[in-house]
Structure 1
């Protein structure tokens, strides 16, 4: 295993932090000397970003400033910590790295005898410490515990899934096969939603003949999307957000896509 000196070299030290260059990469990292300096680091980052935005407009200037890429300040109790306390075995002290947003499948019900979400028994069979699957009810419970201001609502996530899939289908012209919708971090201790894994996507020619391939990809994927049940309000929100994202000339294809999905689901 490489030591820290093999991966980074200290190139500077100041009043509250020190700077390391990453070996073989055009990157540098500024780290605080003590945890109490985190606010100073955040202020430094904000001012650095403001200066970069101004200087970057004029390429004729002799002096330039490095581009600030991200600010990471670990929170005292991260979302991952809350997920572990709610759902992980007591012996598991690390993870999850990501939560897969399985809003199309109920994974495990909660016991009905607990009104306090913090006292609900942890699931035992439903467990993957790295890419932890979280269904709609588990997500709602996590959001109640954390507070509605820290996580987007399920409706917001489902609408965003519809918008995203529409853009992949009709702007990028891929079928969206095997993409993943996950909850992760933004680098500063807050939650962020991400789309990952594009290597299995297939191009399609945006004709009615290939609607069946889009449907096959929809059902091949892990159950991120609501199932195409026309009586399900969340599915209808997903469908509506997809259709609203599609340009007028592609609306007939979108209609055919959802008609086919609903027929296939009804026969499963």
Structure 2
């Protein structure tokens, strides 16, 4: 009999079935596997020494998923399921791990972030892949690709003359100019990013360190309908608790700048940043007065830090202001 949590990943009527896992991706301390024939995924530690990190990620994901779902945010996080230790023999006996990763460490189940719809993958290739590379068999729609939405990153390769030698659709970086060409509403995305960060700071109470904002597809059990694009927040293994005090505001600012530039850079002259920061403050106000006060302190500190950085490292003239 399958454990109830394996069934939560989407099975029905699969008693006595041994689940094979297909590798989707790997990071510094863990690997993500797809259940063959099931919609859920499993994240597993490489070694037993990473289990505390994985447990923290699972706990953080629970808080983040609950906060975002309750707020009605358009950007969601995967739904976490059960956490399994090395001694949960029922779980390990009901799955088949690859031969090169057969150790029983720890793992947890979660709902899957689906890749971009194939039509959107093809559009990315048509718009951004140089013509002389499009016949490369490694560049094709239909792979398990998502795209990173980087509203704060400068425009890529401005004024480039030499032809590109490579193109990689995996985790494709969508700067705001590329996102607009793809048809993404960057203004609304900036608003939802502001709401997302407020919920993570003030409701889930973490610093949002090293998270990723990616464009994938929605979750649906109706396979007769094509999947629609959806923005997801993923990768929470480095987020640290925020103790909801003014003294930890510098830590939130440091985490913001340590991340990839998913969020608009905090320059008041940037229209997307205005939308982002206004949405952040408005979302804090919905939570409670303490959150509003802390949120204003965070935004003010963020803008001061950006100003200091711009004075020492002048902003690129090719930065996309939207």
Instruction: Verify same fold: TM over 0.5.
Output: yes
Counterparts of 1:81 and 1:110 in 2: how far apart (Å)?
Answer: 23
Structure 1, gaps ≥5 residues long: 1-18, 30-68, 113-120, 144-150
Counterparts of 1:126 and 1:261 in 2: how far apart (Å)?
Answer: 36
Match of 1:239 in 2: 277
Q: Which has the higher contact order (CA 8 A, sep 6+)?
A: 2
Counterparts of 1:126 and 1:260 in 2: how far apart (Å)?
Answer: 39
Counterparts of 2:279 and 2:140 in 1: how far apart (Å)?
Answer: 38
Match of 1:251 in 2: 292
Residue of structure 2 aligned with 1:140, choices 180, 200, 207:
180
What TM-score, normalized to structure 1? 0.63
Q: Which moved more, 1:232-241 or 1:19-28?
A: 19-28
Structure 1 residues 126 and 217: CA distance shift in structure 2, 3 A:
farther
Structure 1 residues 245 and 253: CA distance shift in structure 2, 3 A:
same
Match of 1:159 in 2: 191
Work out which of the two has the higher radius of gyration on C-alpha atoms and give 1 or 2. Answer: 1
Instruction: Say yes or no: does 1:214 pair with 2:261.
Output: no
Instruction: Say yes or no: does 1:171 pair with 2:194.
Output: no
Equivalent runs, 1:64-83 vs 2, <5 Å? 78-83=119-124
Instruction: Say yes or no: does 1:264 pair with 2:285.
Output: no
Structure 2, gaps ≥5 residues long: 1-11, 20-34, 39-110, 220-225, 310-322
Match of 2:127 in 1: 86
Match of 1:204 in 2: 242
- Aligned pair count reads 192
Counterparts of 1:242 and 1:214 in 2: how far apart (Å)?
Answer: 13
Equivalent runs, 1:16-55 vs 2, <5 Å? 21=14, 23-24=17-18
Residue of structure 2 aligned with 1:107, choices 142, 152, 155:
155
Counterparts of 1:134 and 1:124 in 2: how far apart (Å)?
Answer: 17
Structure 1 residues 263 and 83: CA distance shift in structure 2, 3 A:
same
Offset at 1:142?
Answer: 1.2
